[in-house]
Amino acid sequence: MRKTLILIISTMLLIPAAMNAQQHGKDKDHNGFKEKMLAEKIAYFTTELNLTPEEAQVFWPVYNSFAEKKDKAWKEVRHAFKDMDNAIKEGKDSKEVEQKMKVYEEALKNAHKVELSMSTLLKGVIPVEKIAKAYMAEEGFKRHLLHKLQPKK
């Protein structure tokens, strides 16, 4: 009963974000996939962190803000990587490749800094043990998705 209540509260807090993603997306199938993954992530995190309804109410807005920053930072890393790759493929001179490499390295540093900011953002929102579980849930959810994508034997 308690987990169901937490899941309902968590889902209600994330509906505006999911609706916003749906409105701004170009491909409805892609948005449906994103919404499904978001719902799955909410369920996974809620179970793994064992959030109380009160904790879930304050956790999800803070976590969602963090996740947006993280996604943006890693998007910048991918963009910088592509620019660096294109410079090499196009045979650009060493100075230009080096400049693209520096942009890539800075993007990586920023993305890692954002990743490490999760605990700072969540302190005072949930207990430190649950923050540690949030880190573990991040990795566990990635593995969960990879396992789902593997062909069935």
Residue 77 and residue 104 in contact, taking contact as beta carbons nearer than 8 Å: yes
Model pTM above 0.75: no
Whether 76 has a pLDDT exceeding 90, the answer reads yes
Whether 68 has a pLDDT exceeding 80, the answer reads yes
Q: pLDDT-based confidence at 11, cuts 50/70/90?
A: very low
Residue 117 and residue 66 in contact, taking contact as beta carbons nearer than 8 Å: yes
Average pLDDT, the chain: 85
Phi, psi angles (nearest 5°) of residue 91: 70, 30
| Contacts of 100 by beta carbon, 8 Å cutoff, 6+ apart | 80, 83, 84, 87, 92
Per-residue pLDDT tens digits for 107-135: 999 999 999 999 999 998 999 999 999 99
Enter the tokens of residue 131. 């923050």
What is the structure's pLDDT at 27? 56
Whether 26 has a pLDDT exceeding 60, the answer reads no
Enter the tokens of residue 107. 């993007």
Q: pLDDT-based confidence at 148, cuts 50/70/90?
A: confident
Nearest to 129 by CA among 63, 54, 48, 42: 48
